[in-house]
């Protein structure tokens, strides 16, 4: 599905961010990238969709070699690469619905996107996705009126409405409290399972990675030093990834242990009626 060979990134400063990375990600697999700051996790994700240009190596998604694509072909290939950002990357003055529909910009023409005239099928899918993440009653709210967890859910919907083959998720919980972090990671992994969708998640929280990812890849100084099951993250392995520390408190926890995190805090989401007549103006 995703096949990376010899991926190297050296910046103009001479710093080597990635050193001959080999990585395969299978269909439906959720891979967590862990490692200290500066290990190359974000660089790896951004090289895959070429927000950062690799220095050397190959990246193939479903047999399409991404590193050799020209601008037009790359723009089309990015439709199949859904990106979820740490800082949400929403347009603050736009509504929840408008931000979600921006994920379809790669499919509609310039003028239709400029005038925000989207096909009815796209609007219907946006409603379905927002209902799935519990925000279908907030379609008319502006993005700047949302909480951090709500913003991240909008970002997830925007990525999914692209109908991607691979999700690239860059520190989705870095700005969230512990309970909301579990909710977001649970939501991402559930949606991947429902859609048989692959994902690479850059995450600093080792416990969250162990709870929700099916596979852990540990990076240190641009090199993969661990690639295996969550249960394999022993103290020795964590020392190899992060350096010497007392890792005895870092243990795997079951997602079922925090089922109360499935729900927002009381009052966080106050239902309001859907205004589908207003949304007709987007068609």
Higher pLDDT, 17 or 104: 17
Query: 244: burial class by Cβ within 10 Å (0-12, 13-18, 19+)?
Result: exposed
CATH 3.30.413.10 holds for 28-38+70-215+222-282: no
**Mean of pLDDT values over 231-256:** 79
pLDDT (0 to 100) of residue 212: 96
Give the residue extent of every domain in the chain: 28-38+70-215+222-282
What DSSP letter does each residue of the chain carry, written as one string? -EEEEEEEEE-TTS-EEEEEEEEEE-TT-EEEEE--TTSSHHHHHHHHTTSS--SEEEEEETTEEGGG--HHHHHHHGGGEEEE-TT----TTSBHHHHHHGGGTTTS-HHHHHTT---HHHHHHHHHHHHHTT-GGGTTSBGGGS-HHHHHHHHHHHHHTT--SEEEEE-TTTTS-HHHHHHHHHHHHHHHHHHT-EEEEE-S-HHHHHHH-SEEEEEETTEEEEEE-GGG--HHHHHHHH-S---TT-----GGGGGGGGSPPTTSS------HHHHGGG-
Q: Mind listing the pLDDT tens digit for each residue in 173-225?
A: 888 899 999 999 999 999 999 999 999 999 999 999 999 999 999 999 999 99
Higher pLDDT, 190 or 110: 190
Model confidence at 278: pLDDT above 50: no
Higher pLDDT, 83 or 87: 83
User: How confident is residue 246, by pLDDT bands cut at 50, 70 and 90?
Assistant: confident
Stated length of the chain: 283
**Mean of pLDDT values over 245-259:** 60
Work out the mean pLDDT of the chain and round it to a whole number.
86
- CB-CB contact of 154 with 98 (8 Å): no
pLDDT (0 to 100) of residue 179: 93
Q: Mind listing the pLDDT tens digit for each residue in 33-75?
A: 999 999 999 999 999 999 999 999 999 999 999 999 999 899 8
Q: What global pTM score does this model have? A: 0.85
């Amino acid at each position: 599905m995703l096949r990376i060979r010899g991926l190297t990134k050296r910046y103009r400063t001479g710093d080597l961010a990635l050193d001959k990375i080999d990585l395969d990600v299978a269909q439906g697999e959720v891979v967590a990238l862990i490692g200290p700051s500066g290990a190359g996790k974000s660089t790896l994700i951004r090289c895959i969709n070429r927000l950062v240009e690799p220095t050397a190596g190959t990246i193939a998604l479903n047999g399409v070699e991404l590193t050799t694509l020209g601008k037009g072909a790359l723009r089309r290939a990015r439709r199949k690469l859904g990106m979820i950002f740490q800082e949400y990357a929403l347009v603050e003055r736009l509504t929840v619905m408008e931000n979600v529909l921006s994920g379809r910009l790669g499919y509609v023409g310039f003028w239709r996107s400029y005038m925000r005239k989207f096909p009815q099928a796209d609007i219907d899918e946006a409603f379905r996705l927002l209902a799935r993440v519990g925000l279908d009653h907030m379609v008319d709210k502006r993005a700047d009126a949302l909480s951090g967890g709500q913003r991240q859910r909008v970002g997830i919907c925007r990525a999914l409405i692209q109908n991607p083959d691979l999700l690239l998720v860059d520190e989705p919980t870095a700005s969230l409290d512990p309970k909301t972090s579990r909710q977001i990671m649970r939501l991402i992994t559930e949606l991947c399972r429902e859609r048989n969708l692959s994902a690479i998640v850059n995450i600093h929280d080792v416990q969250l990675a162990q709870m929700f990812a099916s596979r852990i890849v540990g990076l240190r100084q641009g090199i993969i030093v661990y690639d295996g099951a969550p249960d394999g993250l022993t103290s020795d392995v964590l020392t190899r990834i992060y350096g010497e520390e007392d890792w005895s408190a870092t243990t795997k926890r079951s997602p079922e242990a925090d089922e109360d995190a499935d729900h927002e805090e009381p009052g966080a989401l106050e239902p309001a009626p859907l205004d589908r007549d207003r949304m007709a103006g987007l068609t």
